Amino acid sequence: MRAASALDLIILRAATARARHTAMSITMSTTTFPPSDPLTWKQADTDVHVATRAGEFAGFVEFDGTTHLARDQRGTDLGSFESLDDARDALEGANTPERRPSAFSRRLRQVLRRGPHRARA
């Protein structure tokens, strides 16, 4: 087995830093807004109210003359409600992110926890 040269150590450090940066990018791209960020409401028209969270579209409530229809950020129908407040509450509940990690993020943590491995000659 040969001793690690200075160049080998530099390459190892760069690869480790790159792996950590990649992991951070993956983690950051899959995060959602915390439920503590409140919805911000704006009236877009006399019968349309639009919700945003941290500047991102979160859904809307539309009054069709008899009932308030709520839809989330993907356009999914959340139901019909008698009052605007009930429709807003439904949208707030629909936008609460789930807190379960994906299988990919668990596997990524396992791989990163092991640390860098030396290549075999």
Q: List the domain boundaries for the chain.
A: 6-30+102-114, 40-94
Which amino acid would we find at residue 49? Answer: H
CA distance readout (Å), 109 to 15, 95, 98, 104: 17, 27, 19, 9
Nearest C-alpha neighbor of 113 from the set 41, 36, 50, 20: 20
11 or 69: which carries more pLDDT confidence? Answer: 69
| pLDDT score for 111 | 72
Q: Is 2 helix (H, G, I), strand (E, B) or coil?
A: coil
Which amino acid would we find at residue 17? Answer: A
Structure tokens at 69: 């229809």
| pLDDT score for 99 | 57
Convert the pLDDT of each residue in 85-104 to its tens digit: 999 999 988 866 555 556 66
CA distance readout (Å), 108 to 27, 31, 51, 78: 10, 15, 34, 34
End-to-end C-alpha distance for the chain, whole angstroms: 9
Convert the pLDDT of each residue in 41-86 to its tens digit: 999 999 999 999 888 899 999 999 999 999 998 889 999 999 999 9
| pLDDT score for 50 | 93
Asked if residue 18 has pLDDT above 70, the reply is: no
CA distance readout (Å), 33 to 49, 50, 55, 59, 73: 21, 17, 10, 14, 13
